[in-house]
Structure 1
Amino acid sequence: MLTTRHGVRPLGPADLDDFLALARRRPVVNAFVDYRATTTNLEPRWLGGEMWGRFGGGALVAACHVGANLVPVEATPDDAAAFAERALARSRTVSTIVGPQDAVRGFWNAVASSWGRPRDTRWEQPHLEIGGPPLVAPDPQVRRTVRADLTELYPACVAMYTEEVGVSPEHGGGAELYRARVIQLVNRGWSFARFDQGRLVFKAEVACATPYAAQIQGVFVPPDRRGQGLATAGMAAVVELVRREIAPSVSLYVNDWNASARAVYEKVGFRETARFATVMF
């Protein structure tokens, strides 16, 4: 049953095939929600939230992941406004709104007056992809991390997160959960790093993966080792490893103002295919 006049309702396991068909219209851009749907079967207890769908003429035309992250899926600004109307019927639970720029802007414009002032807004985030070999030589010393690397790896993950987001992942007692997430990525073989005499000098992780694409997060080089080509060769190695063993395309999104990171990704062979935006609370 549709629960609003705009044709929005929560999706469940019976909607999985239709949802995946929708998300896979742009399988690389929608890698995160594809991964979440296939690993949870759209069961709310596993999602840690809900997946909303908007219907038109009996067909699923747009969707919205509503968990810690709120992510519009193939949503026009009108679809985003319809999802916002449903969101306004309850208190805000999400910590981040992220996804294609127009949909995020449409959603935010509808909830801004009620959801309070965000901690940060990032409206220009190029979404980058590479679907072939890297354009530069990969660093042969980049490898998958193991649990024995955590002494170096975990502080680097905290430093990267704090630098990128503006608040430590350990803030408010979050250290245990964040450490568990880092360990989970290591156990999955989704964490990569290079070490120089035992010290971590480059790292990156796969945040999510589908049969079509893997999304990279957490790219980091310690401040005193930047400008030495470690990120360029390191990312080339990650692209090569991921494409060979995890997914055929590799994606990420980056802040428009981060000129050094964008230069690294361009050298490696990433190309912009969409614009994302992020609103953080």
Structure 2
Amino acid sequence: MLTQTTTRVLDPGDLDAVLAILYSEPVANAFVTSRVQVAGLDPWRLGGEMWGWYENGRLRSLCYSGANLVPICATPEAVRAFADRARRSGRRCSSIVGPAEATALLWKLLEPSWGPARDVRPHQPLMVTEQPSPEVGPDPLVRRIGKDEIDVIMPACVAMFTEEVGVSPLAGDGGLLYQARVAELVGAGRSFARIENGQVLFKAEIGAATVRACQIQGVWVAPEHRGRGLSKTGMAAVLNFALADVAPVVSLYVNDFNTAARAAYRRVGFRETGAFMSVLF
């Protein structure tokens, strides 16, 4: 019997209940939903555990514990329970990321034992749109990346990650996991770029994809080509691909201090609907 409130590691038999929670907020939960839809709840396939928090015998909140620690539809009481479990098991993730309110509480509870963090980004606006850009025409030279072009796109991916996160994705395992992820997105037809004379001028990926929502990530313009509006027209092109082929709702989240990017995304037609928070180790 489950006590009035309890947490446990969920298993494949809990899949329907987990999906019901994930689908209740399809945009905010797109990243985890995309993984669960493919891998289910088997920890080996999922790349981590899914923790569940129960109230009066009913599953109410989730927390994904893998390379990222992600609170999902988590009430304050659930966050406290997840923090207790995370503290006991020790830090195995490279970041904590999720809706800003729950993530802020989770980090407040974990910081005494897990801190200090390498970087804390407390407010990352979540932006959404359901239609092609009403103002910005898509760049006709932005296209899907072919499987034979991984070597062309990889340096741009590494440059974007290093600039955004502050460390190279090639550290640690020599970049094997990161290269596999890039190859996965290319193979799935979710990597896009404008390439001229073998140089990537603009690139972006649809990193998370479900039937209800998808999330654009990795937006990058080569430094020497910035200021030309390539991010706006490139994003308009990727948005069209996403709406046509992936999901009816397209989202992204961005650092609040990146005012140029936020302005560009608003111009393309994205609107801010919430906020994420990231804690990087």
TM-score of Structure 1 vs Structure 2, range by shorter chain: over 0.9
Q: 1: distance between equivalents of 2:130 and 2:77?
A: 32
Bigger shift: residues 238-247 or 30-39: 30-39
Q: CA deviation at 1:49?
A: 1.3
Q: CA deviation at 1:5?
A: 7.8
Partner of 2:181: 181
Q: 1: distance between equivalents of 2:67 and 2:172?
A: 16
Cα shift readout 1:181-231 (whole Å, capped 9, x = no counterpart): 211111110100011233210000011100011111110001110110111
Stretches (4+) displaced over 6 A: none
Q: 1: distance between equivalents of 2:183 and 2:261?
A: 26
- Per the alignment, in what secondary structure is the counterpart of residue 7 of structure 1? strand
Q: 1: distance between equivalents of 2:92 and 2:37?
A: 23
Q: 1: distance between equivalents of 2:47 and 2:229?
A: 39
Give the 5 Å matches for 1:25-64.
25-64=24-63
- Per the alignment, in what secondary structure is the counterpart of residue 89 of structure 2? coil
CA RMSD of aligned residues (A): 1.3
8 Å Cα contact 1:129-1:249 kept in structure 2: yes
2:7 partner amino acid: V
8 Å Cα contact 1:78-1:106 kept in structure 2: no
Partner of 1:209: 209
**2:43 pairs with 1:82:** no
Amino-acid identity (%): 51
- Per the alignment, in what secondary structure is the counterpart of residue 255 of structure 2? coil
1:213 partner amino acid: A
**2:6 pairs with 1:7:** yes
1:87 partner amino acid: A
Q: 2: distance between equivalents of 1:37 and 1:239?
A: 24
Q: Which runs of 5+ in 1 are unaligned?
A: none
- Per the alignment, in what secondary structure is the counterpart of residue 243 of structure 2? helix
Cα shift readout 1:131-158 (whole Å, capped 9, x = no counterpart): 1121211111111001332333100000
Q: 2: distance between equivalents of 1:150 and 1:125?
A: 29
- Per the alignment, in what secondary structure is the counterpart of residue 90 of structure 2? coil
8 Å Cα contact 1:10-1:50 kept in structure 2: yes
Q: TM-score, normalised by structure 2?
A: 0.96
Partner of 2:172: 172
Q: CA deviation at 1:177?
A: 2.2
8 Å Cα contact 1:77-1:102 kept in structure 2: no
Q: CA deviation at 1:37?
A: 1.4
Partner of 2:162: 162
Q: 2: distance between equivalents of 1:76 and 1:227?
A: 42
Partner of 2:103: 104
Q: 2: distance between equivalents of 1:151 and 1:67?
A: 28
Partner of 2:117: 118
Bigger shift: residues 161-170 or 146-155: 146-155
Q: CA deviation at 1:103?
A: 0.5
Q: 2: distance between equivalents of 1:176 and 1:33?
A: 22
Q: CA deviation at 1:6?
A: 4.2
Partner of 1:218: 218
Partner of 2:280: 280
1:228 partner amino acid: R
Q: 2: distance between equivalents of 1:17 and 1:203?
A: 36
- Per the alignment, in what secondary structure is the counterpart of residue 168 of structure 1? coil
Partner of 2:233: 233
Cα shift readout 1:103-131 (whole Å, capped 9, x = no counterpart): 10111111111112111000010011111
